[in-house]
A = this chain, B = another copy of it.
Amino acid sequence: MNPEEFRKAAHELVDWIVDHQARIPELPVQSQVRPGDVAAQLPREAPVTPEAFPAVLGDLDRIVVPGITHTQHPRYFGWFPANATLSSVLGDIAASGLSALGITWQSAPALTEVEEVVVEWLRELTGLPSSWRGVIQDSASTSCLVSLLAARERATGYSETRGGLQAEPAPLIVYTTEHAHSSVVKAVALAGFGKDNLRVVETDPWTRAMVPEALARAIAADVAAGHRPTAVVATLGSTGTTAMDPIAEIVPIAAGHGVWVHVDAAMAGSALLLPEMRWMIDGIEGVDSLSWNPHKWLGTVFDCALLYVADPEHLVRVMSSNPSYLRSTVDGEVTQYRDWGIPLGRRFRALKLWFQLRLDGVQAIQDRLRRDLANARWLAEEVGSTPEWRLLAPVDLQTVCLRHEPADITDPGALDAHTLAWADEVNSSGAALVTPSTLDGRWFVRVSIGAESTSQGDVAAVWKILRATAEGLGRG
């Protein structure tokens, strides 16, 4: 969808929203549909080619609106007031349109600082102590969990850094590699396993992939010590170098000990839309769960992360809660997604996926992913064939890990300083943005290709910029 198509469609959607809000008082408060009615009206497969916007908008009226209980209705006296003031809807639209990435202060300073200011406004307005500080979460469920985790750690003197909550001598053990995402260590701590019970399994020095024999040895050692191997977190497309842990070899090792295999394919998952990339998930039949984020490379506006599980009944048993005020006569016939994760309340995130797949069509998305893969291969070849530049990892996806290694800089510390200096010069200029990262304790630069608007020309241009900046400083 191009900007002018968006403009036209968004204006129509705005008018639709206002008209929809105006007719809410005439609609039944409680949705009258029966279990399965909505799903039955949708095709079983995503469209390959784009649909026209009027068809999608029409389906909001035909399929979606009858399937909503209207908490904005003047005669809504259910659960709790769940309003959506039009002023806040505007702010939400602005947030979608800006699509800021809130991962660090630097990634969107305004996202952090506007949040600091407005939570302070509301602290003042609600009479909370002036020394307190606030943050926005998705739900009170998450807030409560976060607070209890904080309480747990205060009571135990930060047990997460030691043995977690666990009773020796038979702790539960989790396995991953040093290239796994930081959220794995965090999850191990938050879930009470304790960081001491996370095993960092050896990886191949070039591919950075988990060495299956090392996993087998680690599990065997734990079993011998009376510990309980519990989970392996395998990564497809590590954040640093897009390393690919070999699922097909990990699964049989884990299966022998009843170990849960979770696959973190947060960024790489989008590539699975390309049949030629499915080699990544060889062995998937023996995996227990896999997550990937359409809000990354696929391009769904943040936030939208998919979690798939082999055994949903088990997940629900762990996550469910069933208070009387949420019980209904259809409980056995429907999916209650509140029991599939942490928050009770959930946004209608599926709409953005539904709109994207219908309005863009699968084929155009696949074409874009293939373009990015080709651009990454092109850059990798350039780096590999240019003197004093080095490729630091295989380029299986869209990320190129590189370093400028001038012959006259032989000291590793000096090379680190050189890397950080030229990367900072590139980034501060505003002309392009690349990410410095470390591998074996040394800095290098990641060039992650895949912005929707990035053409081959942009990749050629950034390569010119990197060379000019680094080689210029190298001679300085």
Judged by a CB distance under 8 angstroms, whether A398 is at the interface is: yes
Judged by a CB distance under 8 angstroms, whether A108 is at the interface is: yes
Contact of A328 among B36, B65, B104, B306 (CB under 8 A): B104
A93-B93, A135-B337 given; A351·B267 CB < 8 A:
no
Q: Of A88, A138, A351, which is in contact with the most chain B CB atoms at under 10 Å from its CB?
A: A88
Judged by a CB distance under 8 angstroms, whether A434 is at the interface is: yes
A112 CB, nearest partner CB in chain B, Å: 6
A83 CB, nearest partner CB in chain B, Å: 3
Which of A200-208, A210-218, A291-299, A403-411 lines the interface with chain B?
Answer: A291-299
Contact of A310 among B38, B117, B132, B148 (CB under 8 A): B132
**A 58-100 contacts with B by CB, 8 A:** 60, 63-69, 71-100
A96-B89, A129-B285, A136-B306 given; A117·B42 CB < 8 A:
yes
Q: Is the CB of A91 within 8 A of B430?
A: no
A69-B433, A354-B114, A450-B81 given; A345·B292 CB < 8 A:
no
A29-B431, A141-B187, A345-B303 given; A172·B152 CB < 8 A:
yes
Q: Is the CB of A184 within 8 A of B144?
A: yes
Alpha-carbon distance A437/B79, docked complex (angstroms): 10
A350 CB, nearest partner CB in chain B, Å: 4
Q: Is the CB of A260 within 8 A of B74?
A: no
Number of copies of chain A assembled together:
2
Closest Cβ neighbor of A446 among chain B residues:
B325
Judged by a CB distance under 8 angstroms, whether A418 is at the interface is: no
Judged by a CB distance under 8 angstroms, whether A438 is at the interface is: yes
Judged by a CB distance under 8 angstroms, whether A284 is at the interface is: yes
Q: Is the CB of B281 within 8 A of A133?
A: no
Q: Is the CB of A434 within 8 A of B78?
A: yes
Residues on the B chain within 8 Å of A153, using CB:
314, 317-318
Q: Is the CB of A104 within 8 A of B355?
A: no
A231-B148, A462-B77 given; A93·B10 CB < 8 A:
yes
A59 CB, nearest partner CB in chain B, Å: 10
A28-B430, A114-B38 given; A99·B87 CB < 8 A:
no
A89 CB, nearest partner CB in chain B, Å: 5
Contact of A84 among B22, B96, B346, B360 (CB under 8 A): B96
> CB-defined interface of A421-449 with B at 8 Å, one 1/0 digit per residue?
00010011111111111100001001111
**A 108-147 contacts with B by CB, 8 A:** 108-129, 131-147
**A 154-184 contacts with B by CB, 8 A:** 154-156, 158, 160, 164-168, 172, 174, 181-184
Q: Is the CB of A437 within 8 A of B325?
A: yes
Q: Is the CB of A152 within 8 A of B264?
A: no
Q: Is the CB of A99 within 8 A of B84?
A: yes
Residues on the B chain within 8 Å of A33, using CB:
109-110
> CB-defined interface of A49-64 with B at 8 Å, one 1/0 digit per residue?
0000100000010011
A450 CB, nearest partner CB in chain B, Å: 3
Q: Is the CB of B110 within 8 A of A75?
A: no
A71-B99, A318-B160 given; A150·B309 CB < 8 A:
yes
Residues on the B chain within 8 Å of A345, using CB:
101-103, 295, 302-303
Closest Cβ neighbor of A369 among chain B residues:
B81
Q: Is the CB of B449 within 8 A of A117?
A: no
Alpha-carbon distance A326/B303, docked complex (angstroms): 19
A7 CB, nearest partner CB in chain B, Å: 5
A64 CB, nearest partner CB in chain B, Å: 5
Judged by a CB distance under 8 angstroms, whether A224 is at the interface is: no
Q: Is the CB of A142 within 8 A of B305?
A: yes
Alpha-carbon distance A143/B141, docked complex (angstroms): 16
Alpha-carbon distance A15/B75, docked complex (angstroms): 35
Which of A383-391, A453-461, A467-475 lines the interface with chain B?
Answer: A453-461
Residues on the B chain within 8 Å of A347, using CB:
95, 102, 302-303
Residues on the B chain within 8 Å of A139, using CB:
183, 293, 303, 305
Residues on the B chain within 8 Å of A182, using CB:
321-323, 326, 344
A-B contact pairs, 18 of them (CB 8 A): A1-B87, A20-B98, A25-B453, A38-B110, A79-B448, A89-B97, A90-B355, A119-B350, A134-B308, A135-B341, A136-B306, A136-B307, A137-B305, A139-B183, A143-B307, A145-B187, A182-B323, A303-B347
In the complex, besides A37-B113, A103-B338, A143-B307, 8 extra interface pairs with C-beta distance below 8 angstroms are A6-B18, A84-B299, A92-B93, A125-B272, A125-B362, A132-B310, A148-B193, A153-B318
